[in-house]
């Protein structure tokens, strides 16, 4: 994920009263969060972590939603506001 997009997404998430920005992948607690937002290098995360949904954003700013049921749903280019909406949708879906 490009640094500028990362900064904008982190800022937008931090502004949400119902969301907690948990830090970097290396710092994740043992109890899995509801949703993880990550960049290109998170493919192995799906195999290592049980439970969370993953919103992956590539270098071009395109996003995909992932769940451990090995289902990927491309959602295309996203703005920080759309990332927040996608996080809420993932958390609410129970997928």
At 28-61, the pLDDT tens digits run 666 667 777 777 776 666 556 555 677 888 888 8
Residue 46's pLDDT is 56
Question: Residue 14 pLDDT more than 70?
Answer: yes
Model confidence pTM above 0.75: no
Distances in Å between the Cα of 83 and the Cα atoms of 11, 30, 57, 68 are 11, 24, 9, 19
The angle, 0 to 180 degrees and rounded to 10, between the axes of the packed helices 80-93 and 3-14 is 60
**Residue of 95, 88, 94 lying closest to 71 (CA atoms):** 95
Question: What percent of the chain stands above pLDDT 70?
Answer: 69
Q: How far apart are CA 87 and CA 95, in angstroms?
A: 12
Question: Residue 86 pLDDT more than 80?
Answer: yes
User: Is residue 31 within 8 Å of 87, Cβ to Cβ?
Assistant: no
Question: What percent of the chain stands above pLDDT 90?
Answer: 4
């Amino acid at each position: 994920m490009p640094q500028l997009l990362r900064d904008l997404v982190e800022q937008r998430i931090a502004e949400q009263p119902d969301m907690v920005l948990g830090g970097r992948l290396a710092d994740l607690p043992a109890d899995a969060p509801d949703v993880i937002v990550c960049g290109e290098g998170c493919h192995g995360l799906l195999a290592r972590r049980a439970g969370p949904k993953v919103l992956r954003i590539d270098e071009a700013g395109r996003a995909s939603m992932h769940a451990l049921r090995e289902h990927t749903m491309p959602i295309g280019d996203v703005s920080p506001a759309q990332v927040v909406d996608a996080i809420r949708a993932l958390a609410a879906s129970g997928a």
